[in-house]
Structure 1
């Protein structure tokens, strides 16, 4: 299962091993995550431009909702037409998050598989504060609580930022749910390896800082 991940997992394994020469494994994971986010930064800039485009469409979106609010199919068709005519997408901001999924899957697999490339996975023995990075959920206590607390703080700031800079995300179906997604990462720490939790904490903190800086520069 997930055999298609064997090659990227092996690549990540050797990369982290290279980084752990002068660094700890946890810090190597942080650097790996920052490298991924730096690679995706151009898409984040595109998403920020999309947010500004969605904000410009808000009056038209609200007019469509007032006119077709009871006819969900007609509303969806009119919203699609509006996107096509304006040359923007109401969901463009989700692209950086979706493109991170393969990297998260690699990190998850890297700290759950006993062997990599036919050899014992030595990363499973790596620890942080005495906790194995391959430990899942509450088995990673107290590290899991440290990561969960960090994610909760980042989620709180992210939601407050969204409340201060409301855009068309709140106007589309599921928009309110999208606003609460940052808190889903806190729940994820209960089931993923601690290494994956470190990845989540690093990437969500990057997202919060990146969005604030891009909005300031707009």
Structure 2
């Protein structure tokens, strides 16, 4: 048992220093504004910690988006492999992995930001828990700062209180319940946003789609059940992280959607409207009626090219017939009007 405890301590100790260092750094800023022991200073420090962590995870988020998009786009090919090798599981697994390798798709990349965040989340949880129960700090969070963090007054309670704790007042329980609901709702809406806006219709069926649908309902349920036991300071971190994820995902889906999705068609409509606004009135009218810009503006007719006289040699010019009256000295009769 001590062996696993030593491994856990070896892994978590660097995270304690990382989390506490960022937290204390933000607290030195906000503490000078709101007071070192105020809940506002510590709550904003938790928000600052979230921003720093999520900004550092942006490259992983980009990788997650690319992998998730590839997983969506290759679903028709995966279905073809399932039809072809459905009777042979080993062959199906080998061909599927070959397809992943060929398209540069990592089916586990979509979980990377969550997997990376969980140790940080637990490190923050342990910092608050140790400060509340043992009056101890970890890393750069000294014992004095740990007490200040855990006991910062917050709506009649403290940041160390949770929905299930005995030391919190009714107002603290209400605030904790609201934060748990917001945390759960943002988790659900983030996953729902991805499935409804940035997944092609043919990717909504199959094993990958079933996994996404399962996560859509399982993850919020897990956070709702576990959230009631989290200290308010920890719930602030996860709620802020979810709001960051929603905003970041909204920007990516809006500006770089996957092909053949509702978000992709919406972007095409916005681009067409933008082109119409910046074009001529004729182009704008054509865009409103569905016509192209090339047919909206008529070019003025070009003048017919002037016909050049046929070149003649000198002998042809000298021997050529001279214009004169016809034989007999009679003038040609004028043509009668058919009318």
- For Structure 1 versus Structure 2, the TM-score category normalised by the shorter chain is 0.7 to 0.9
**What's 2:194 paired with?**
162
Matched, 1:18 2:28: yes
Distance 1:71 1:111, change over 3 A: farther
Cα contact 1:48–1:215 (8 A) shared by 2: no
Cα contact 2:100–2:106 (8 A) shared by 1: yes
Unpaired stretches in structure 2, ≥5 consecutive residues: 35-39, 166-171, 257-339
Q: CA deviation at 1:91?
A: 2.3
Cα contact 2:150–2:158 (8 A) shared by 1: yes
Q: CA deviation at 1:17?
A: 3.2
Greater RCO, 1 or 2 (C-alpha within 8 Å, sep 6+): 1
Write out per-residue CA displacement over residues 72-92 of structure 1, whole angstroms, 9 at most, x where no aligned residue: 554433322211122221221
- One of 129, 146, 152 as aligned partner of 2:155: 129
Matched, 1:144 2:176: yes
**What's 2:215 paired with?**
178
Query: Under a length normalisation based on structure 1, what TM-score does the superposition of the two structures give?
Result: 0.85
Aligned pairs for 1:42-191 within 5 A: 42-69=59-86, 73-113=90-130, 114-117=135-138, 119-120=143-144, 121-122=146-147, 123-139=149-165, 141-164=173-196, 165-166=198-199, 171-172=207-208, 174-183=211-220, 184-191=222-229
* Inter-partner Cα distance in structure 1 for 2:75 and 2:127: 43
Partner SS state of residue 129, structure 2 = coil
Q: CA deviation at 1:71?
A: 5.4
* Inter-partner Cα distance in structure 1 for 2:173 and 2:88: 49
Unpaired stretches in structure 1, ≥5 consecutive residues: none
Partner SS state of residue 44, structure 1 = helix
Cα contact 1:185–1:200 (8 A) shared by 2: no
User: Where is the helix percentage greater, Structure 1 or Structure 2?
Assistant: 1
* Inter-partner Cα distance in structure 2 for 1:216 and 1:10: 35
* Inter-partner Cα distance in structure 2 for 1:109 and 1:133: 13
- One of 229, 233, 248 as aligned partner of 1:210: 248
Distance 1:109 1:89, change over 3 A: same
Deviates more, 1:51-60 or 1:206-215: 51-60
Cα contact 2:177–2:228 (8 A) shared by 1: no
Cα contact 1:159–1:180 (8 A) shared by 2: no
Distance 1:17 1:159, change over 3 A: closer
Instruction: Tell me the matched-pair count.
Output: 218
Q: CA deviation at 1:42?
A: 2.0
